[in-house]
Structure 1
Amino acid sequence: MVFPMTKRRVTPLVTALVAGCLFAGAPGAHADTAAGADGTPSAAGAPRLGVDLDTVTIPELQTRMARGSLTSTALTGAYLWRIRTVDPTIKAVLRTDPTALRQAAASDARHRRGQSRGPLDGIPVLLKDNVNTRDLPTTAGSTALAGSPPDADAVLVTRLRAAGAVILGKTNLSEWANFRGAKPTSGWSAVGGQTRNPFVLDRNPCGSSAGSGAALAASLSQVAIGTETDGSIVCPSGANGVVGVKPSLGVVSQSGVVPISAEQDTAGPMARNVTDAALTLAVLAEGRAPHAGDPLDLAAASARPGGLRGKRVGLWRLPTLGPDVDALMTRTAARLRAAGAEVIEVKLPYQERIAELEFPALLSEFHRDIDAYLATRQGPRDLAELIEFNRTHPAEQTCFAGQELFEQALVAPPTTDPRYRQTRAELKDLSRRSIDETLAAERLDAIASPTNPPAWTTDCARGDNDVIPSSTPAAVSGYPSMSVPAGFVGELPVGLLLMTGNLRDGELLSLGASIEHHLHAWRAPRYLPTVGS
């Protein structure tokens, strides 16, 4: 049986992005659900909130909290209950914050005094476990960092706390953000084991932000934070049927986040709807240096019906992801055209050369940046010590033993080498031109492509089956991208990846909200044990 797709009213983004004000929204009418013995959601024993945690938005929650008909304490308690009862099936959450209910009570007191700090006040947030927290371990999935917590919060965590968000806990991830072995298995770490895809449990959740994507699909938090170097926000969002935003490089501070490459790394919000992702990004981006005409300050229209009329979207098909995905893109294009958008088929230039250059550049950058990060933590002090740690600790070898990427990075040219500098300069030039020239040639508002193939079967011996080129142009250029649910291939979600020009994050969020409204492709997972291959 296929659950009906849920149609969600999407609220305008302008006010939230410019002023951080609350939207008016009709509260949901359903009780939240929890898991039965087989992991399938069941209402039995669930806390009664009067809202459907699968579909409720932050504005709807804030409306209820302002009225006094909902508290952050009750909301946080409901998510903690779901983590206790549902998460053992998918293993997305590494640990919860023992202070979460105290944080929620403080938010409730602010709401009673009429001193709410904005849209995220009292909203539970899960953090990927490569984001530093001063009071919780930050491991990047490795037992090498499983000792004392970092000395200070990451800047983005400081901003979330200042906005009143409830730090609910930490999510599992692909160890070292999938930058360790040549044949890694996404969603596996020595600290957290293997995260499963909530839609089909033997399928992979994709990308290094696997735990964040799976947790949101299972409604274990209202929003989550992921990180991306190339694909690790958008792919788990697509594969788990949620929304993920990779901001323009520099919009969100990377200070206090375990790195791969300062030239490509960024954190970003993941949520079950674009509205919640936009509100979270507005908080994460607070304090950034303004630019003249910065679209983060000038986000245009919303997802009202007709919001796609006159929009021009380039469709980059990527038939290598299979005929079922390509057929879904054909159906998606037809729906966008029916909503008034013009969809023009495009091919992005320079992709083969970008693919040749990216990995060598990342090796040099990883060696530089991981050495700098490890120097701030207890445990291995540099990459050479980390390699030796993995060789001597069996827990690090229980899914795959290889650390070929570490070993290659150790001997890669330093970032002071002219060969490296030439590589990164060419990468930046070609990746930006690939997007800019395509946008200009067809006068496009954005470029769309499939985010992911249907999730593959998780297999430690084989490793991932995730060569997915759609994320690379925006990742390498530092331009914004986002994934919104596009539909399903059988029981498995596929996302629509949207990308556009540098610092046009607000415009991209607005377009994504309109597309989400017209596709309304979200649905809750069914926790199926397996399906036919």
Structure 2
Amino acid sequence: MRHLLIATAMAVAGASAAVAQPRPAEANVRGALERIAHVDPQLHSVIAVDPTAIDQARRVDASSLRGPLAGEPVLIKDNIESAGSLPTTAGSLALANNVTNRDAPLVARLRAAGAIILGKTNLSEWANIRSNNSISGWSAVGGVVHNPWALDRDSCGSSSGSGAAVAAGFVRFAIGTETNGSVTCPSSINGIVGLKPTVGLVSRTHVVPISHTQDTPGPMTPTVREAAELLSVIAGSDPADPATRDADKHKRDYAAALDANALKGKRIGVMRFATGFGTDTAFDTALAVLREKGAILVDIKKFDRSAIGKNELPILLTELKADMGKYLKGSPAPIGVRSLKDVIAFDNARQRQEMSLFGQELFEQAEKTKGLADPAYKKAKAAAFQAAGPKGIDKLLKDNKVIALVGPTMPPAWKIDAANGDQIAGGGAGSLAAVAGYPHLTVPMGLVKGLPVGLSFIGPKWSEGLLLSLGYAYEQARGPFPTPKFYRSIEESPEIAPLLVPQR
């Protein structure tokens, strides 16, 4: 389906090319479609392009719409609904017919700003909640996403396609979703900017869910300014999503508030307890840039995260069963699955297509949970939030008299490994923000043996403006970041290849 739709859209574009000179939005879309058609067969980052993309662009060109997103093609993760002929699959064959003909509110906001919904990006199937032994970026619908920095490397998940597509230059604006790391990890590993907003700043209506406690869509872009521009459009209250009740009170023009001098005189906590995994040199270089721009850095050496790790999974599994069941029952499309139990049965009946690489033990555990009224679930939810929020980020900020926290986001990309699943050497402190529901921004900070790694900025609830401004100041001081070269493997790069042969 992916290649058919690309061919269809390109045919429409080609047929009309001789009729009129393309105007800005149309030219942007044609360029993006051409890049996808030529490059994405290496990456599998785009599940489908929207066959109405050219028509959307022409309508924008004929309108009076202005603004940073007017005429810009945007890719959205394929667990987010958009009106039209494209299904919202979450990467699963079980949702291959999930054509709902409705826009998620965040998509409606994009259209109102003049953005062109170019298509859907590949993802870790079901946003990577099916198995602990999964391959990040793999879905039955889209295959596995390859990292444009080295094609044998993973793009992390679950917003793998959005990260790879932006890094590859297909578009400058993409939307991912995060429950824990699914925006920030692929952003870091693909060398782009990613923002996981405060839960409740961006609507989750018509987004295939995992957890109403932790789920949120977020921007994925090449630069901090573009992330701020994208967030300014998609943020806002939605009556259908109670978590967004206060969003309109807190949203603002995030791009207008960016300040290249935002670091000067600011006390920032350094999460030494979340460092290592091969990123120390790049992190030390980033810290030197922060100091040079006037930041006052405060080392935080210890923090006990055990209560977060112990309590998060029971929350996610309980909410997965309830929230997914609600979504599936409410889909107007002719799908054959209306509960998590139905999805498990669907996968079991299609072992070759869905289950050859890894199983669904997390689905099976979730199916055994006792519902949102279960006292054990409520206790775990309260304990996890306290450990990550009031007794976590909030306490770290207060005790150390700092306004934000920084640390390395993730290790560099690991190799795609069909035999063993993800081989992640470690991870930063992103789970703190994920479980608390607080914002987390990652900005590229350097290369580790030719692979990108990110610098995380974490703050209290509703602090997106602060984090974006700090990240922007760092990004401006850091200077231009390299772009991927599409090596077959990083071992073939000119920096690494000479070191793998005898040096005598």
- Normalised TM-score (structure 1): 0.83
SS in 1 for 2:100: coil
- Match of 1:205, SS state, is coil
Q: Closer, same or farther in 2 for the Cα pair 1:468/1:140, shift >3 Å?
A: same
Structure 1: which amino acid aligns with 2:291? R
Letter in 1 for 2:34: W
Q: 1:443 aligns with which of 396, 401, 404?
A: 401
User: Can you list the C-alpha shifts for 1:170-220, whole angstroms capped at 9, x where unaligned?
Assistant: 000000000001200001000000100000110100110000000000011
State the match for 1:402 in structure 2.
359
**Contact between 1:132 and 1:152, CA under 8 Å: does it hold in 2?**
yes
Contact 1:141 1:174 (C-alpha < 8 Å) held by counterparts: yes
* 1:27 alignment partner in structure 2: none
Which of 341, 351, 375 is the matching residue for 2:329?
375
User: Is 1:434 aligned to 2:396, yes or no?
Assistant: no
Structure 1 residues 530 and 162, CA gap change in structure 2 (3 angstroms): same
Residues 123, 137 of structure 2: 8 Å contact kept: yes
* Native 8 Å contact 1:348 1:434 kept in 2: no
Q: Distance in 1 between matches of 2:413 and 2:23?
A: 37
Structure 2 match to 1:484: 443
**Contact 1:303–1:517 (CA<8 Å) still a contact in 2?**
no
CA contact (8 A) 1:299 1:507 kept: no
CA distance in 2, matches of 1:426, 1:132: 33
Q: CA deviation at 1:398?
A: 5.8
* Letter matched to residue 218 of structure 1: A
Match of 2:488, SS? coil
Instruction: Summarize deviations over 1:467-491 as a string: whole Å, max 9, x none.
Output: 5242101000010111100100011
Structure 2 distance, partners of 1:299, 1:148, is 35
1:394 Cα deviation after fit: 3.3
- The secondary structure found in structure 2 opposite 1:87 is helix
Cα 1:295–1:445 shift into 2, 3 Å: farther
Contact in 2 for aligned 1:296/1:505 (Cα 8 Å): no
Higher relative contact order at CA 8 Å, sep ≥6: structure 1 or structure 2?
Answer: 1
CA distance 1:341–1:300, shift in 2 (3 Å): farther
Asked whether 1:309 is paired with 2:259, we answer: no
Match of 2:314 among 325, 340, 360: 360
Matched to 2:316, the amino acid is: L
| Corresponding position of 2:78 | 129
Give the conservation status (yes or no) of the 8 Å contact 2:274–2:428.
no
Change (3 A) 1:128 1:298: closer
Q: 1:155 aligns with which of 96, 105, 115?
A: 105
CA RMSD of aligned residues (A): 2.1
2:225 and 2:258 in contact (8 A); partners too: no
Give the Cα separation in 2 of the matches to 1:164 and 1:443: 42
3-state SS of paired residue (1:75): helix
Q: Is the alpha carbon distance of 1:442 and 1:318 closer, same or farther for their aligned partners in structure 2, counting shifts above 3 Å?
A: closer
Task: Give the equivalent residue in structure 1 for 2:150.
Answer: 200
Residue in 1 that maps onto 2:226: 276
Q: CA deviation at 1:294?
A: 3.3
Deviation at 1:399, TM superposition (A): 5.2
SS of the residue corresponding to residue 170 of structure 1 reads strand
Can you list the C-alpha shifts for 1:57-82, whole angstroms capped at 9, x where unaligned? xxxxxxxxxxx996111111101100
Counterparts of 2:253 and 2:259, CA distance in 1: 18
Q: Is contact 1:173–1:208 with CA below 8 Å preserved after alignment?
A: yes
Report 1:67-82 matches (<5 A).
Answer: 71-82=24-35
Could you tell me which amino acid in structure 2 is paired with residue 456 of structure 1?
W
- Say whether 1:214 aligns with 2:164: yes
Deviations 1:361-399 (A, max 9, x none): 111111110111111232211011110100111354365
Quick one: which amino acid aligns to residue 524 of structure 1? T
| SS class of match (1:510) | helix
Looking at structure 2, the residues matched to 82 and 250 of structure 1 have their Cα atoms a distance apart, in angstroms, of: 34
Number of aligned pairs? 461
1: CA distance between counterparts of 2:370 and 2:161?
33
Is 1:392 aligned to 2:341, yes or no? Answer: no
Shift of 1:413: 2.9
SS at match of 2:313: helix
Q: Give the aligned residue type for 2:478.
A: L
Q: CA deviation at 1:148?
A: 4.0
Structure-1 separation of matches of 2:164 and 2:458: 23
1:341 equivalent in alignment to 2:295: yes
Among 506, 511, 517, the residue aligned to 2:465: 506
Checking the alignment, whether the CA contact within 8 Å between 2:92 and 2:126 is kept in structure 1 is: yes
**Amino acid of the structure 1 residue aligned with 2:313:** F
Q: Which residue of 1 aligns with 2:250?
A: 294
**Secondary structure in 2 aligned to 1:94?**
strand
Conserved in 1, the CA contact under 8 Å of 2:265 and 2:294? Answer: yes
Q: Of the candidates 70, 88, 93, which is equivalent to residue 143 of structure 1? A: 93
Tell me if 1:413 matches 2:370: yes
Shift of the 475–512 alpha-carbon distance from structure 1 to 2, 3 Å rule, reads same
**Residue 497 of structure 1: which of 456, 466, 470 is its match?**
456
In structure 1, the partner of 2:42 is 89
Question: CA offset at residue 301 of structure 1?
Answer: 4.9
Counterpart in 2 of 1:515?
474
State the shift of 1:337 in Å: 0.6
SS in 2 for 1:367: helix
389-398 vs 129-138, greater mean Cα deviation: 389-398
Q: Within 2, Cα distance between the matches of 1:416 and 1:134?
A: 34
Alignment partner of 1:458 is 2:416: yes
In 2 relative to 1, CA 81–314 (structure 1 residues): closer, same or farther, beyond 3 Å?
A: same
| Partner residue, 1:43 | none
Q: 1:438 to 1:318 in 2, by over 3 A?
A: closer
Residue 317 of structure 1 and its aligned partner are, at CA, apart by 3.2
- CA displacement at 1:117 relative to structure 2: 4.5
Q: Structure 1 stretch 485-494 or stretch 279-288: which is displaced more?
A: 279-288
Distance 1:191 1:273, change over 3 A: same
- Deviation track 1:283-333 (CA, whole Å, cap 9, x = no partner) reads 1014465579737468885343x43211222111356642x3012111111
Instruction: Work out the CA distance in 2 between the residues paired with 1:160 and 1:259.
Output: 20
Change (3 A) 1:290 1:367: closer
Q: Secondary structure at the match of 1:375?
A: helix
Q: Which residue does 2:7 correspond to in 1?
A: none
**Cα distance in 2, alignment partners of residues 76 and 133 from structure 1:** 17
Q: TM-score, normalised by structure 2?
A: 0.87
**Percent identity of paired positions between Structure 1 and Structure 2:** 44
In structure 2, give the amino acid aligned to 1:334.
A
SS of the residue corresponding to residue 168 of structure 1 reads strand
Which one-letter code corresponds to 1:451 in the other structure? T
Is residue 242–residue 484 contact of structure 1 (8 Å, CA) maintained in 2?
yes
AA aligned to 1:525 is P
Structure 1 residues 104, 145: CA separation in 2 closer, same or farther (over 3 Å shift)?
Answer: same
Q: Are 2:288 and 1:326 equivalent residues in the alignment? A: no
Q: Contact 2:441–2:456 (CA<8 Å) still a contact in 1?
A: yes
Counterpart code for 1:307: A
